[in-house]
Structure 1
């Protein structure tokens, strides 16, 4: 579409919808007009894509995830559809600032961190590669939370991202599904066949809202289906189950609304756990029922289900897919156990995202029995048959039955259920997968070696380079051509230019412009002046002990002490940038945020330091904020305790934009290091094997490092000696976690190595030609970590789906 046509349609949309000319319209009205205009084209392609999939009888993949962190879709949809430039030109012609118009769209509050952003990147790649793959999630009324900083503390406010209409969704009321909770199950024999009657249950309506997922440079449009919980107005249900009291009905209605109200309700209480379990079953039941309903319209026998449907469960949250599919196949469609189990275990695949035992979900047995009585019986039977299989067919594992059982010690282990009930189990980085096979899930790997594989995570380069960093994308287009946009592996051609002085000069210019833009944002938003010539050292990820923001802060304090004691010391200015949210009930993480903001306030206002050091904590970290930070970054902090980070994707986004990784040998850092070479990454700290050795031997003594390193002692003592506040207990939890709880994540052990790596970064940065060569080398190798590559591995090796392109031509 040319600019004239786009401008005419934009003007017509404003007039039709708002009765306004462009010079009268607000930014919000301009955004909505653009969304309506784009949707007309997208909806046509969307419908045609569905028809092609049906007429070609293609195998479909459904990606179940509790999170889909989409970010804003307006710019992505325009870019993917080829209308972005003409849209921006049109807006400027009518005296709109395109950035301000696009900011009228709220980030969809459908995710928290890497898990949700990975799911969003996967959807983008599936659509762009013309693969029939769709998302299944929950339409949360409120996102995780809006983070506000009040006196340096994180305060959580509701993230009501749906206060305005979400322009990209379509409500499908006619496709609503009933989901049942609680009640009782009665076995009976009918025609000599055992059946189960479920009665006195609570009904909840799951109403789908469909979001089109637009691929890049293709007419194919896939679907993200989001389910919203609504109460039923069935009077029989109201009278017989909830009672005739009007207020009981209101209680019921409110309890239903909670199911899709918040992402990750606080599960520190029984009620919170119950609500989270309800959420997970709500997602699973609505999703699986809708998939089966669609499949049965094809009039194919259920035996064909694994040949036509693949279900990927993203982490353990949707593991109830397995007993739910079993329930539907047996209780609704009349199949026997053996056939239902065969079809289920050929249809479901599981992605593991963690080695942390506390993150491998477990549910109280009695809670599941009460909330999901039929599913409990199914899980119980799966467990019984699994344990018998071990006893009779794997005698070498008999002594591990209690540890491998799906139900044990009063808990239902969802990871165990996922591994037993899936045909595929994959990790998300080579190291992570090796740890699963060799340690965390070793007995399951012994039993099912053919099920395990690795699929290293990836990111969509179109969002995180083409869209987020247009100046760099333009430089790459001029240097190596545009083929990398659809074939990211072509970025490797940048290697030819890493030592070219003119290319380095342009690369430096682009980075400087991005840093200047971020510096302006920081000044405007937080009133902090940062030097755009300083090293922008970036640590942006969920706040958790194992991600070790604390190690970063300790190094900052070490530099602060060093510069104060040596005021004439020659140093390269540093700007340390943090972005992170802590879970509302994770008090240790919230104390670390308070420490970061306290240190920032002290350093930023110390005239003795001047511009040598600045520390910035950017509140309410989000996809849109990441798009501002990542292109401006020089150093990418990936400093998790080795073996704890499954993969990471922030490391990939940052390297793709030319930042150099400072990281442990953990997750995908290992593969990034192998790709770029040891000269182009800064590694430090314990290896995964060394961490395991410490944990098993219990020889690690944090106090030994505190006592032997005056730098550490100086920093740690400040936590309790009123150096920061008059309250000497403000940071006592951090202090005790290190010295009395023995530093679970080896912060003190890795401190010296981390300081050395940071010193090497400063020395290297002073040689800008060398730094730019390393930066360009990282960009060149980043195509390996595109989600296009990852998705093709899933498609070919797990899902067995193939490309099928609808084209208007």
Structure 2
């Protein structure tokens, strides 16, 4: 557990010495854990250490809350279904500047900081890029002194723990909370009651106005758990507030005494299911209802919390947009729009027109996809049964909106149907992305190309109606975790070259450019990369029992397993190299030693993704032991890829695989992390790859593949993947080798599901881009052979990608959308 040297103790709430830290650690161990040092388990030591570090943040946290409340400044409330936080201890040590004090204190007690830190279980609060981005954003908001709170769900079991059984993905619960979390503060006294089901009824209020109220059928409690989010280089400590579901009446003693013990706690079970796992499998009606319950549960609790706990008593809610902006991180929190309308109209008696004007000024929407199937829809039947009042509000919003459309485009009824929040086929359903677009002040994409495609294709009708609503904020990653913490060797090398301060001003990495021409700096840079590979090799051996060489090229593809991300294309390249060697077209000795590393989870109900995982593992089993390859080509696919593993793998990578079909990836953030850590990218012009390519230059990026307009042309012309297969000897050889049973113990049908789809549909044009990709990989082989030139390119990648700091992303949000101001704690 290392860190850069700047920031030491400068921003902890009170000065810490080795003696004071040791005293607090022993006190925590004795009085909180109830053990003496000599009898403490590794978990006891970790819990005591975490609480000791937490102790040095609490004063700043409480001061931040009081400062922001007193000033009444505009705040950002970030609504996200995911926060993929990663381990908390190293980040807290970095933010407080306590790393060296903690290390020396523990050493004086005969303990090792790194060994204790390694026992931390990272929070299971996210799935992938969306959650990692949210975690980066709340880090930057705190670092930039912006009043902000992150709202989400405290998932008891997270997404799932991935294991492989006979090469196939198997899902297990991720009990990350089984030993408790020392970083959270439960506040059951601040619980919010959230309702479901029931019916609506009309009534006349005391002033003679006819109104509607929702008579809820059942309720659960949303209990808040607060996590501190420390800023770097500041006293500001913001809050992440996560909601856990509890029953209002968890236990029925009469039923229990009657002997029906399961029924006695049934209400508790039903309520707690809401916050059990992230993204419950939704192929069943019950799964769909649980997902919608989750979404309403956390936004209803969050809106009630901000209105009742943060705003001063008696605050005029017609001015709520002046005090907060609610950022909708994708469509998961969009039900918050009719919820705020319900609060304003039904509970506060504000007239509809005023309430709708306020609501549209209060929300902003980030769209994270280009895939139509990823734009959430909820059936009218389900939404009406679970949230009857919200469906009524949505219908009224839609009625008024369609009137606006018809006025703007008279006679164009087809456009009105296209833009309606309610889709009619194949079933009546609510289109949440449309509701978000109508009910938000601003809509942003997350990379220049993505935002353009949102305007031109995905939400084209809306951008024509409201062009000024649309803007772009390219994603970013926090340099604290993904450079300073994960790559201390490189961080220290950068500091030695350009001085301190770059961790909060990442554009200063530009000052590294002259060092790319310095042979001694290139040598030091290679030494850092070699040490990072050694570190990863050691970890993967301990963690997964995978033995890897440290002196190979590390070719890495880590991301959610989805067909559009095209893990199949990477795998076909590996099979092609193997096939060439088997055919005698290529000598194994001519292959640069290469470790191809995959990391990916497939959604439990996504059959194709799970079959691709099985195929990757089957190919690995053969290739890794093939005598013909002389050990020069290996596949590593560690199970359960997470932030902890990413922090070791990304700094070790030489080649970053960003090979999605152009026009399908919204942005990506892994591509940014790899470039910042000195990996060269092989990629298509998709998502933020476009901006990386523009910044680093063609000479330092391995570009291949169809562009987005070319993809459209190929599809429109009637794409026939079989023609590519028949017309390309290498491609045919690779696919035929898989079909022959060479990777499945002779079973020719083992991967028929994957291959028949690839040859018959190939929805994401893997075969169309195959030859361009293989040609680009041949260029990689040649380039990597010249280590001086490769190091120069890698250093320039680091130097030219400071733009991708999440601090810059947040500044763009502030300038273009939020208009909140810093409120530093003095």
What is the TM-score normalised by the length of structure 1? 0.96
What is the CA–CA distance in structure 2 between the aligned matches of 1:529 and 1:164, rounded to whole Å?
31
Shift of 1:95: 3.4
Asked whether the equivalents of residues 579 and 737 of structure 2 are also in contact (C-alpha less than 8 Å), the reply is no
Asked whether the equivalents of residues 491 and 780 of structure 1 are also in contact (C-alpha less than 8 Å), the reply is yes
Asked whether the equivalents of residues 250 and 267 of structure 2 are also in contact (C-alpha less than 8 Å), the reply is no
Asked whether the equivalents of residues 397 and 443 of structure 1 are also in contact (C-alpha less than 8 Å), the reply is no
Match of 1:95 in 2: 110
Match of 2:379 in 1: 364
User: Of 177, 180, 203, which residue of structure 2 is paired with 1:162?
Assistant: 177
2:448 paired with 1:430:
yes
Asked whether the equivalents of residues 719 and 732 of structure 1 are also in contact (C-alpha less than 8 Å), the reply is no
Shift of 1:610: 1.6
Residue-pair matches, total: 802
- Give the alignment of 1:436-455 within 5 angstroms: 436-455=454-473
Match of 2:764 in 1: 745
- Give the alignment of 1:650-689 within 5 angstroms: 650-689=670-709
For residues 70-112 of structure 1, give each alpha carbon's deviation from its aligned partner in whole angstroms, at most 9, with x where no partner exists.
Answer: 0111110011110012212333343333232112221101000
Match of 2:592 in 1: 572
Shift of 1:655: 0.5
Gaps of 5+ in 1: none
Asked whether the equivalents of residues 68 and 111 of structure 1 are also in contact (C-alpha less than 8 Å), the reply is yes
2:366 paired with 1:339:
no
Asked whether the equivalents of residues 575 and 616 of structure 1 are also in contact (C-alpha less than 8 Å), the reply is yes
- Residues 244/348 of structure 1: CA separation in 2 closer, same or farther (3 Å cut): farther
2:781 paired with 1:762:
yes
Asked whether the equivalents of residues 238 and 244 of structure 1 are also in contact (C-alpha less than 8 Å), the reply is no
Gaps of 5+ in 2: 1-15
2:66 paired with 1:48:
no
What is the CA–CA distance in structure 2 between the aligned matches of 1:198 and 1:780, rounded to whole Å?
57
Asked whether the equivalents of residues 625 and 631 of structure 2 are also in contact (C-alpha less than 8 Å), the reply is no
- Residues 569/512 of structure 1: CA separation in 2 closer, same or farther (3 Å cut): closer
User: Of 683, 707, 727, which residue of structure 1 is paired with 2:747?
Assistant: 727
What is the CA–CA distance in structure 1 between the aligned matches of 2:410 and 2:100, rounded to whole Å?
65
What is the CA–CA distance in structure 1 between the aligned matches of 2:282 and 2:676, rounded to whole Å?
36
What is the CA–CA distance in structure 2 between the aligned matches of 1:247 and 1:578, rounded to whole Å?
44
Match of 1:209 in 2: 225
Asked whether the equivalents of residues 543 and 589 of structure 1 are also in contact (C-alpha less than 8 Å), the reply is yes
- Give the alignment of 1:291-690 within 5 angstroms: 291-395=306-410, 398-409=413-424, 410-564=428-582, 565=584, 566-567=586-587, 569-690=589-710
Shift of 1:4: 3.6
Shift of 1:262: 0.8
2:246 paired with 1:230:
yes
Asked whether the equivalents of residues 430 and 667 of structure 1 are also in contact (C-alpha less than 8 Å), the reply is yes
For residues 469-491 of structure 1, give each alpha carbon's deviation from its aligned partner in whole angstroms, at most 9, with x where no partner exists.
Answer: 00110111111101101211111
Structure 1 window deviating more from structure 2 (184-193 vs 617-626): it is 184-193
- Give the alignment of 1:771-786 within 5 angstroms: 771-786=790-805
What is the CA–CA distance in structure 2 between the aligned matches of 1:539 and 1:27, rounded to whole Å?
33
2:17 paired with 1:2:
yes
Q: Secondary structure at 2:221's aligned position in 1?
A: strand
For residues 39-84 of structure 1, give each alpha carbon's deviation from its aligned partner in whole angstroms, at most 9, with x where no partner exists.
Answer: 2221211111111011111111100000000011111001111001
What is the CA–CA distance in structure 2 between the aligned matches of 1:214 and 1:97, rounded to whole Å?
24
Match of 2:3 in 1: none
Match of 1:716 in 2: 735
What is the CA–CA distance in structure 2 between the aligned matches of 1:199 and 1:339, rounded to whole Å?
24
Shift of 1:443: 0.6
Shift of 1:737: 1.0
What is the CA–CA distance in structure 2 between the aligned matches of 1:651 and 1:803, rounded to whole Å?
30
What is the CA–CA distance in structure 2 between the aligned matches of 1:218 and 1:396, rounded to whole Å?
57
Structure 1 window deviating more from structure 2 (298-307 vs 538-547): it is 298-307
For residues 206-237 of structure 1, give each alpha carbon's deviation from its aligned partner in whole angstroms, at most 9, with x where no partner exists.
Answer: 111111101112111101010011101299x9
Match of 1:133 in 2: 148
Match of 2:49 in 1: 34
Q: Secondary structure at 2:203's aligned position in 1?
A: strand
Match of 2:5 in 1: none
What is the CA–CA distance in structure 2 between the aligned matches of 1:150 and 1:602, rounded to whole Å?
17
For residues 620-679 of structure 1, give each alpha carbon's deviation from its aligned partner in whole angstroms, at most 9, with x where no partner exists.
Answer: 100001001001000000000111100000000011100001111000000000111111
Asked whether the equivalents of residues 83 and 125 of structure 2 are also in contact (C-alpha less than 8 Å), the reply is yes
Asked whether the equivalents of residues 530 and 611 of structure 1 are also in contact (C-alpha less than 8 Å), the reply is no
Match of 2:821 in 1: 802
Q: Secondary structure at 1:485's aligned position in 2?
A: coil
Measured on the aligned residues, the alpha-carbon RMSD in Å equals: 1.9
Match of 1:791 in 2: 810
Shift of 1:504: 0.3
What is the CA–CA distance in structure 1 between the aligned matches of 2:262 and 2:112, rounded to whole Å?
50
Shift of 1:269: 1.1
User: Of 67, 86, 89, which residue of structure 1 is paired with 2:82?
Assistant: 67
Q: Secondary structure at 1:203's aligned position in 2?
A: strand
- Residues 645/109 of structure 1: CA separation in 2 closer, same or farther (3 Å cut): same
Asked whether the equivalents of residues 52 and 806 of structure 1 are also in contact (C-alpha less than 8 Å), the reply is yes
Shift of 1:721: 2.1
What is the TM-score normalised by the length of structure 2? 0.95
Q: Secondary structure at 1:224's aligned position in 2?
A: strand
Asked whether the equivalents of residues 31 and 101 of structure 1 are also in contact (C-alpha less than 8 Å), the reply is yes
Shift of 1:13: 2.9
Asked whether the equivalents of residues 436 and 442 of structure 1 are also in contact (C-alpha less than 8 Å), the reply is yes
For residues 368-414 of structure 1, give each alpha carbon's deviation from its aligned partner in whole angstroms, at most 9, with x where no partner exists.
Answer: 01100000000000011111111112337542111110012101000
What is the CA–CA distance in structure 2 between the aligned matches of 1:755 and 1:473, rounded to whole Å?
34
What is the CA–CA distance in structure 1 between the aligned matches of 2:800 and 2:771, rounded to whole Å?
30
Asked whether the equivalents of residues 196 and 216 of structure 2 are also in contact (C-alpha less than 8 Å), the reply is no
